[in-house]
Amino acid sequence: MPAKFAEITFTAAVKAAQTRYGSRAVNERFEMSQDPGDTLGMVETAFIEARDSFYQSTVNENGWPYVQHRGGPPGFLKVLDERTIGFADFRGNIQYLSVGNLADNDRISMILMDYPNRRRLKIWARARLVHHDEDPELMTQLEVPTYRARVERGIVMTIEAIEWNCPQHITPRFTEAEVDEMVAPLKNRITELEATNDDLPTALSGPQSAIGDGPLELVITGIRQLTPEVRAYELRRPNFEELPAVTAGSHIQVPVQLEDGSQETRTFSISSNPNRRDIYEIAVRLDTEGQGGTRAIHERYVVGMRIQASLPRNAFCLHEGIQPAVLIAGGIGITPLKAMAQTLQADGRAFHLHYAARSQSLMAYRSKLAKAFDDAVSFYADNEGQKIDIKALLSNAPSDAVFYVCGPDRLTNAVRSIADALGIDCKRVRYERFTTATPEAGDTDFQVRLARSGTELTIARDQTILDALLDAGIDANYGCKSGTCGACAVKVLDGIPVHRDSALSKEERDQAGLICPCVSRSASDVLVLDI
């Protein structure tokens, strides 16, 4: 038994179009469906009763379709039984186009939208008009007592077919009530911070509030909440002069003041368009299980605050040739890839951005990316069962494509591993980590000898060289602790280093003999460092 919607919509002309554009075989499965799709189940009923609007289409005597928006309080469209729905038709602009069309042709089609969750339900039905004097009991069922609007008639529809539509190209939108619900925790947090404002360090309250010791003085001129977890910080020079030029993939180290009063630095990609010289923007995801750096930024960074940051540096550069680029982002890893996509687009170079996160609402910059890049960006929401097929993505990419990946270790490792298995040159797979690298298979304990002091340390497989140095009370330089800034780099005097950073160049590794002890390890039993 074919799906009812296919019986209605798959005309000879439609089938011809499907054949021409290569989708006929895919659509034939609807004609062999065991479920006719002409009744409402629990899922459809709940979906319909939660809607506060829908779009309906009717056809007039001249064959012209007319699409109308109908709205009311949630639940104004009522499910009367598994084959029947209806609503009280409120007085509108008194043109009566839909009413007149239905009087001549009772066919009606509807689309019901759930914008926040990117879902839509299509309904085909036959409609009849009902007036109060004709069936007062039925009109009582359709009325909405809490909605003060004049009811002129009821429209009752007998369902012929239903079909869930795919979420592609649905831009999430939110009602005022939904926005209020989402920002309520932020408002509560603002209230808490305002209540404790007097407890903030005096150093953050005026022109002398600059923290850090970097060479680049910046002032925070704007803060935006991109997702429930991510905030964007706009940084400018205090005198609003031009900032040092940056290229896509650049990062900057900013100072943070931790709860114990100590200051450290954290490294963030510059996510703003590299062509802009007036601002840098960084996006900071709150890591509640981290070392306190992102928490300190979320709690202590305020508009007007001055910081002494590092000069920008780029260890994750775009290639300069005309080869197409494939950008793969996971979560907050979108920050450098957003800037790359903007550069590639401005240069007229081919690219496609793939962006995965736990849900659509946790995708920083999602609406901006969708608007800017259209068909050149794909989104994958884990809670909707959408996952990047990395093997297919790499296999189907152009043979000369350059791949860029930034995200959790599992994503980066998967791309590198699959690319290696497919024989893709490692030089075409570029990556940047934003978290401390986790132990990999084959990692073992090894010894580190400090040449200047003669100190010997045992580095466990789940420990970094940097952590061992700090635990031993050795004053070692460091910044990001994720191998992206290069602040901790030291010279290797003997042994075979295993580089896992994305900060050092080939020359810095091979000729200068440097290693980043925050992430890198040793292939030899002993590694001798110039410390």
Separation of alpha carbons 157 and 305, rounded Å? 60
Angle at 18 between CA 12 and CA 20, to 5 degrees: 105
The closest of 197, 213, 193, 226 to 306, measured between CA atoms, is 213
Exposure on the CB side of residue 506, measured as CA atoms within 13 A: 1
Separation of alpha carbons 191 and 503, rounded Å? 40
Q: Quick one: CA torsion of 58, 60, 62, 64, rounded to 10 degrees?
A: -30
Q: Are strands 151-165 and 119-130 parallel, antiparallel or unpaired?
A: antiparallel
Compute how many other C-beta atoms are within 10 angstroms of the C-beta atom of residue 247.
15
Lowest-pLDDT range of 198-212, 222-236, 287-301, 367-381: 198-212
Average pLDDT over residues 468-484: 79
In the predicted structure, residue 482 carries a pLDDT above the cut 80: no
Compute how many other C-beta atoms are within 10 angstroms of the C-beta atom of residue 451.
13
For residues 290 and 340, state if they share a domain. no
Domain end call among 165, 193, 226: 165
Separation of alpha carbons 1 and 306, rounded Å? 69
pLDDT tens digits for range 159-179: 999 999 877 788 888 888 888
127: β partners = 157
pLDDT tens digits for range 54-107: 999 999 999 999 999 998 889 999 999 999 999 998 877 789 999 999 999 999
Q: What is the pLDDT of residue 20?
A: 93
Rounded to the nearest angstrom, the gap between the alpha carbon of residue 140 and the centroid of all alpha carbons in its chain is 45
435 vs 228: which has the higher pLDDT: 228
Asked whether 412 and 420 are in contact (CB, 8 A), the reply is no
Asked whether 478 and 465 are in contact (CB, 8 A), the reply is no
Q: How far is CA 238 from CA 218, 219, 234, 247, 284, in A?
A: 6, 6, 12, 22, 21
Q: What is the pLDDT of residue 125?
A: 97
Average pLDDT over residues 136-164: 87
Per-residue burial over 506-521, b = 16 or more CB atoms within 10 Å of its CB, e = otherwise = eebbeeeebbbbbbbb
Q: Are strands 306-309 and 313-314 parallel, antiparallel or unpaired?
A: unpaired
Rounded to the nearest angstrom, the gap between the alpha carbon of residue 231 and the centroid of all alpha carbons in its chain is 13
For residues 193 and 291, state if they share a domain. yes
Residue 273 maps to a domain: yes
Average pLDDT over residues 253-257: 92
Q: What is the pLDDT of residue 168?
A: 73
Residue 174 maps to a domain: no
Domain count, the chain: 4
pLDDT tens digits for range 393-408: 999 999 999 999 999 8
For residues 482 and 372, state if they share a domain. no
Q: What is the pLDDT of residue 202?
A: 45
Residue 18 maps to a domain: no
449 vs 291: which has the higher pLDDT: 449
* CATH number for the domain harbouring residue 88: 2.30.110.10
Residue 376 maps to a domain: yes
- Encoding tokens for residue 173? 């939108």
For residues 485 and 365, state if they share a domain. no
For residues 70 and 150, state if they share a domain. yes
Residue 304 maps to a domain: yes
For residues 191 and 225, state if they share a domain. yes
In the predicted structure, residue 226 carries a pLDDT above the cut 70: yes
For residues 391 and 357, state if they share a domain. yes
In the predicted structure, residue 201 carries a pLDDT above the cut 90: no
Residue 287 maps to a domain: yes
The closest of 96, 16, 107 to 65, measured between CA atoms, is 107
* CATH number for the domain harbouring residue 422: 3.40.50.80
Separation of alpha carbons 404 and 268, rounded Å? 17
- Encoding tokens for residue 511? 């000729």
286 vs 194: which has the higher pLDDT: 286
Domain end call among 291, 312, 333: 312
pLDDT tens digits for range 103-135: 999 999 999 999 988 889 999 999 999 998 899
Rounded to the nearest angstrom, the gap between the alpha carbon of residue 453 and the centroid of all alpha carbons in its chain is 48
| pTM, rounded to two decimals | 0.55
In the predicted structure, residue 204 carries a pLDDT above the cut 50: no
Domain end call among 254, 283, 312: 312
For residues 304 and 188, state if they share a domain. yes
Per-residue burial over 83-114, b = 16 or more CB atoms within 10 Å of its CB, e = otherwise = eebbbbbbebeeeeebbebbeeeeebbbebbb
Asked whether 529 and 517 are in contact (CB, 8 A), the reply is yes
For residues 45 and 152, state if they share a domain. yes
Average pLDDT over residues 7-24: 92
In the predicted structure, residue 196 carries a pLDDT above the cut 70: no
The residue ranges of DSSP E strands in 115-181, in sequence order, are 119-130, 151-165
Give the model's confidence band at 205: pLDDT under 50 very low, under 70 low, under 90 confident, else very high: very low
Q: Which residue's structure tokens are 């100072």?
A: 255
Q: How far is CA 59 from CA 68, 92, 183, in A?
A: 11, 19, 42
* CATH number for the domain harbouring residue 511: 3.10.20.30
Give the model's confidence band at 344: pLDDT under 50 very low, under 70 low, under 90 confident, else very high: very high
Q: How far is CA 341 from CA 8, 70, 279, 468, 520, in A?
A: 43, 39, 18, 39, 29
Q: What is the pLDDT of residue 303?
A: 93
Residue 379 maps to a domain: yes
Q: What is the pLDDT of residue 435?
A: 58
Q: Which residue's structure tokens are 């040739």?
A: 321
Domain extent, residue 360, equals 325-433
For residues 332 and 277, state if they share a domain. no
In the predicted structure, residue 455 carries a pLDDT above the cut 60: yes
In the predicted structure, residue 206 carries a pLDDT above the cut 70: no
For residues 191 and 303, state if they share a domain. yes
Compute how many other C-beta atoms are within 10 angstroms of the C-beta atom of residue 134.
11
Reduced to 3 states (helix: H, G, I; strand: E, B; else coil), residue 89 is strand
Q: Which residue's structure tokens are 């990395």?
A: 390
For residues 136 and 230, state if they share a domain. no
Residue 19 maps to a domain: no
Find the length of the chain. 531
Give the model's confidence band at 199: pLDDT under 50 very low, under 70 low, under 90 confident, else very high: low
The closest of 263, 249, 234, 159 to 478, measured between CA atoms, is 263
